């Protein structure tokens, strides 16, 4: 769920504050409130408790030279990123003991982008669920707390078997942080089982063992990274952030591979891969499922007259309307061919799917296309079929295609259903 709260920037340099505000608003889309003193901070927080999703805090202000502004944000439960122009071990200690998300040094040209990147990561971390596995409760709780401060959604398991059960019941877990020593199975075995059953989940091993082969053992077993205890907190943060970033990049690549370049809709390959899963899930819940295939009327004629640019305009216009009308609930919409689109309607019987398709047809017919100053009708023909308990997706799509042929034979701009 998107966060509609604000970002609070506490900085006494007007130039730096203004630049940071503009960058944060542009990069996060969230409104940014700025203030320059401890008094302003306290007044804002008291006046609007719960209004701030995250705070960016200058450690040293003229009226708060020892991090008092940071104390205010942390005490009031606002996740905080610190930036400071001076840094030494004593300063680091003052910052880290306050349980902040991270700190950024304000001493080079990368300070602004580093702050913005840290804030974006923290906001995105809320969408990342991490499983912490350790049989020692105290150690597990300490690590879980560290990750929660980073804004990750954290769940815990006290054994390898419990971890595997949690992965089965929580498919949104993306990263597992596992200790090596556990009574039922060691971290190596857990990593192996996770790689076999959950190949998209990343594993980070942790151990206090002085045996340098432990890290190699984790990596050979399928873990993606390893950190030795006692670890430096910043190292752990960076390694986890790096693994989460890899997950984000992989998701982006997978999404690109599943999308049609022109329309942005899912492509044919994804339609059949996900469609079979969707039909199976609907059957497991004893729900009806229907499928529709639609074709832009006289598309070849339009393409011949106005060229590929005109054809592309028609395709993108239809895709926009379909996205509004058909991408609801669990429906699966895709462009499966040149001017052909397909929709799976889980939970809709044939009559309901026909009604939905009639709404799509009407909406498209009421939105003509303008090319080179000429207003052109843009209509579609649609065929609809139900997917029975024993029907394969491809067979049902074939029935819908037959109904589509009937719609064209009947004059186009029609919805027709396949005979039961």
- Tokens 């029935």 correspond to 399
CA distance 412 to 355: 17
234 is catalytic: no
Q: CA-to-CA distance for 263 and 342, rounded, in angstroms?
A: 13
Of residues 40, 162, 339, 340, which has the active-site annotation? 339
Q: Which residue has the tokens 């609930």?
A: 329
Cβ count near 201 (within 10 Å): 17
In the block, which residue shows the tokens 């089982």?
Answer: 193
- Between CA 38 and CA 12 the distance in angstroms is 10
Ordered strands of the 52-58 beta sheet: 32-35, 6-10, 52-58, 80-84, 102-105
Question: Which DSSP symbol is given to 64?
Answer: B
Torsion-angle region of residue 202: left (phi > 0), alpha (psi -120 to 50) or beta? beta
Rounded CA gap, 173 and 131, in Å? Answer: 7
Residues that are catalytic = 339
């Amino acid at each position: 769920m998107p966060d509609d709260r604000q970002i609070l920037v506490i900085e006494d340099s007007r130039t730096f504050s203004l630049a940071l505000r503009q960058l944060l608003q542009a990069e996060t889309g969230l409104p940014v409130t700025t203030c320059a003193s401890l008094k302003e901070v306290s007044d804002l927080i008291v006046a609007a408790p719960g209004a701030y999703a995250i705070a960016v805090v200058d450690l040293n202000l003229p009226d708060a030279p020892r991090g008092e502004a940071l104390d205010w944000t942390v005490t009031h439960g606002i996740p905080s990123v610190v930036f400071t122009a001076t840094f030494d071990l004593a300063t680091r200690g003052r910052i880290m003991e306050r349980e902040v998300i991270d700190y950024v040094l304000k001493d080079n040209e990368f300070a602004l982008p580093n702050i913005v990147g840290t804030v974006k990561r923290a906001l995105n971390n809320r969408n990342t669920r991490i499983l912490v596995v350790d049989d020692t409760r105290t150690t597990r709780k300490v690590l879980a707390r560290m990750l929660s401060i980073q804004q990750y959604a954290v769940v815990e398991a006290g054994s390898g078997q419990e971890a595997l059960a949690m992965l089965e019941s929580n498919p949104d877990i993306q990263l597992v942080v596992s200790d090596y020593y556990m009574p039922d199975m060691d971290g190596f075995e857990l990593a192996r089982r996770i790689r076999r059953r959950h190949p998209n989940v990343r594993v980070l091993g942790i151990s206090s063992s002085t045996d340098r082969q432990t890290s190699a053992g984790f990596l050979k077993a399928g873990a993606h990274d390893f950190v030795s205890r006692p670890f430096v907190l910043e190292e752990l943060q960076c390694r986890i952030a790096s693994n989460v970033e890899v997950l984000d990049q992989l998701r982006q690549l997978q999404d690109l591979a599943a999308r049609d370049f022109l329309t942005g809709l899912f492509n044919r390959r994804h339609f059949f891969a996900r469609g079979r899963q969707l039909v199976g899930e609907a059957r497991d819940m004893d729900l009806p499922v229907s499928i529709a295939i639609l074709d832009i009327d006289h598309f070849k004629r339009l393409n011949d007259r106005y060229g590929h640019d005109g054809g592309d305009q028609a395709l993108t216009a239809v895709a926009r309307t379909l996205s509004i009308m058909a991408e609801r609930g669990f429906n699966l919409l895709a462009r499966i061919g040149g001017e052909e689109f397909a929709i799976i309607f889980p939970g809709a019987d044939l009559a309901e799917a026909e009604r939905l398709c009639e709404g799509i047809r009407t909406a498209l017919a009421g939105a003509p296309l303008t090319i080179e100053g000429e207003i052109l009708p843009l209509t579609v023909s649609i065929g609809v079929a139900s997917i029975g308990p024993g029907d394969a997706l491809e067979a049902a799509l074939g029935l819908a295609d037959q109904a589509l042929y009937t719609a064209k034979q009947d004059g186009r701009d029609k919805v027709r259903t396949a005979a039961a």
